[in-house]
Structure 1
């Protein structure tokens, strides 16, 4: 039985080496991933159990460690590996985006906001500093909260923008519950930040709200 599982693991890895994840079913992606954390055990039923529990591949990757560990067959190493995937992707996207990224339109604002907030299950507020040519200078996570409104210090927002020599700014946050529409508090906060930026000669390009696969642009909806 161990030899059969070993052979199956080897075949999965060879498929990936030859063609990437093209043609892999969601459970097969997890099955392959789990082979690096669960030695000498068939990971196929565990992969299926994860999909059943969390509903989809993205549901598995967005699951919290405490929930993953409850699935039979998932130990500390496997749960850690799974929860490592999205933060690693965010670091990759931020690193890639820091190489002279130019934000010139609403689609680019949304795309960059997604790179900062993809897969986050808690609410976070990000500020992006840009130069006069709309090139990204740096980003800073200003606030984080539980699954509710993240408390944002406007002083910290403005301090970061001044410290980084911003000519323009993009702000973004996420709604973990899945509704991208802005709340009254979101609109009021945006207006306050926009007003202060204007007084300081900094252009507030947009405020983007990320909710799962959805993105809401204040600029696109005439709220800026």
Structure 2
């Protein structure tokens, strides 16, 4: 009985991973992403950046380090660069996927009343922030029709704190002619339960905005596996 070749080339001289790549692509074309494990979906992303390399070990290393497809594409570039054999081109491909997901979810809340599409707002905020490993505070600025004027990150901090300045928030709201805000920040711990400091800060922002006729419609806290709404919890 002949022994299987130990070379990285198949019998026809082609690298062994080329057949694997085409099989993955075909499975994706026929059955969609549900037919693929997270590491296999990452392989498809990495194929373009590494056309002459077996990317399966790299994809599996990414999942082992970060936990899931979503957490990989949301990871900061400097953390991705810690993975052996993952170069700038591959990191760019991953960040393009993240940017595309953010654009898709943001399109669902643009040019329409944000308060009338609450689930779309949550989906967008989860895409933008759920897997960040640092706390980030962002604000959705709304006009009198509750349509989105601007979406801005006001600050990025540590794993459990971001400095936020209520008067600066209101100054920016007046610059944009915004009449309402949705406050959003993430909890890298994964637990979206509001802290006492979160509640106090929210009430401070509401108090500063009241004489300026700038309302705070809600404050969303985004975690890896869920979210909390101050309005839903009757905290505002």
TM over 0.5: yes
| 1:8 match | 20
Query: What's 1:89 paired with?
Result: 101
Normalised by the length of structure 1, the TM-score is: 0.86
- Summarize the Cα distance change of 1:133–1:67 in structure 2 as closer, same or farther, 3 Å threshold: closer
Instruction: Give the 3 Å change call, closer, same or farther, for CA 58–163 of structure 1 in structure 2.
Output: same
Give ranges in structure 2 of 5+ residues lacking alignment.
1-8
Structure 1: 5+ residue stretches without partners: none
**Aligned mate of 1:180, from 192, 199, 211:** 192
Q: Is the 8 A contact 1:62 1:121 kept in 2?
A: no
Point out the structure with max Rg over C-alpha. Answer: 2
**What CA distance in whole angstroms lies between the structure 2 residues aligned with 1:47 and 1:112?**
26
Paired residue for 2:218?
206
Root-mean-square deviation (Å)? 2.4
Stretch deviating more after TM superposition (214-223 or 137-146): 137-146
Show the 5 A alignment for 1:7-156: 7-104=19-116, 107=119, 109-156=121-168
CA deviations 1:198-223 (Å, max 9, x no partner) are 22222211001111131111111111
Q: Tell me if the contact between 1:106 and 1:217 (Cα under 8 Å) persists in the aligned partners.
A: no
Contact 1:109 1:170 in 2 (8 A): no
- For the 8 Å contact 2:137–2:155, the answer to whether it is kept is yes
Q: How many residues are matched?
A: 224
Q: TM-score, normalised by structure 2?
A: 0.82
Check whether the contact 2:61–2:83 (CA below 8 A) recurs between aligned residues: yes
Q: Distance in 1 between matches of 2:56 and 2:126?
A: 31
Separation in structure 2 between the aligned mates of residue 45 and residue 112 of structure 1, nearest angstrom: 31
